Structure 1
Amino acid sequence: MNATPRLRDPETLRLHTHPKPWLRDVVRLTFGNPVSRVYLALFAAAVVFAVVDSLFVGRPDASMSGVWAALLTSPTLFPLWFAGDALWPDAGAPAWYTITTLGVAALLNALLLGLVHRGLRGRPAATEAVVSGGWHTQRHGDH
């Protein structure tokens, strides 16, 4: 018989299970598909372009280079910016908040693109191992 018996030791069972499977799924959706990777690479290139342009170019309009990063993260960027304006109504949101929202919006967009990619491919969310009669049969088929 090709099936291997399943271990019933509770300590071994705890070592092999992932503590937060939802976190693993979120990371896979955000970074584990080609659509999200291409999007994040484009965003990173826009951010590098903005940083290089603002540091090494002495033109007065060098700050406009950051518009590309903002455009790539829209429409999820704008509610985050509006929330910053609501938190700091008098002086406006600080620079660290604006930069952080760019990164958060990019990660949120990558997650949404991963969900769309998975939905269009038609894959199930997760595959469970088949256990019948105490035998683990995931790699060996249903015997």
Structure 2
Amino acid sequence: MTGRDDAGRVRGALTRVADNPAARLYLAVCAALLVWAVVDTAFVRHDDASMAGVWPFAATLPTGLLVLAVPLPGNRVGAVLLLALPAAAALVNAWAISAVLRRLRARAARV
């Protein structure tokens, strides 16, 4: 297997996940929320706690609740997982959005 085959598979999988504008918009919003949470945590000083880290998980509900059940280590691996888990939840939700819209389109085409 070559690198091109793997890239084609990844591209095909991402196409199935986000094959419509609604799923792409959802993924863009989730990515923007993750970037905002990272920037807010890294560069903005707060007197109290910031709620920026909550929004990526709120945007990925209900799948985001499932990933909160994963115990995270208290090191850099935990920080990476804290970013990767809502990203994975967003991909699952985008796949669900795409699947529902595909089903609705197929039903509308039959009528």
Same fold (TM over 0.5): yes
Shift of 1:59: 0.9
Shift of 1:29: 2.5
Structure 1 residues without counterparts, runs of 5 or longer: 1-17, 124-143
Pick one of 87, 93, 103 that aligns with 1:119: 103
Structure 2 residues without counterparts, runs of 5 or longer: none
Q: Aligned pair in 2 of structure 1 residues 48, 95: CA closer, same or farther (>3 Å)?
A: closer
Residue of structure 2 in register with 1:131 after alignment: none
Residue of structure 2 in register with 1:99 after alignment: 83
Report the TM-score when normalising by structure 1: 0.57
Distance in 1 between residues matched to 2:104 and 2:27, nearest whole Å: 20
Shift of 1:95: 2.7
Higher strand fraction (1 or 2): 1
Residue of structure 2 in register with 1:127 after alignment: none
Distance in 2 between residues matched to 1:116 and 1:61, nearest whole Å: 41
Residue of structure 2 in register with 1:133 after alignment: none
Number of residue pairs the alignment of both structures matches:
99
Distance in 2 between residues matched to 1:77 and 1:120, nearest whole Å: 25
Shift of 1:50: 1.3
Runs of 4+ in structure 1 deviating by more than 3 angstroms, as ranges, are: 18-21, 60-63
Largest Rg, 1 or 2: 1
CA RMSD of aligned residues (A): 2.9
- Encode CA deviations 1:4-37: one digit per residue, 9 max, x unaligned: xxxxxxxxxxxxxx9998x83x422312211110
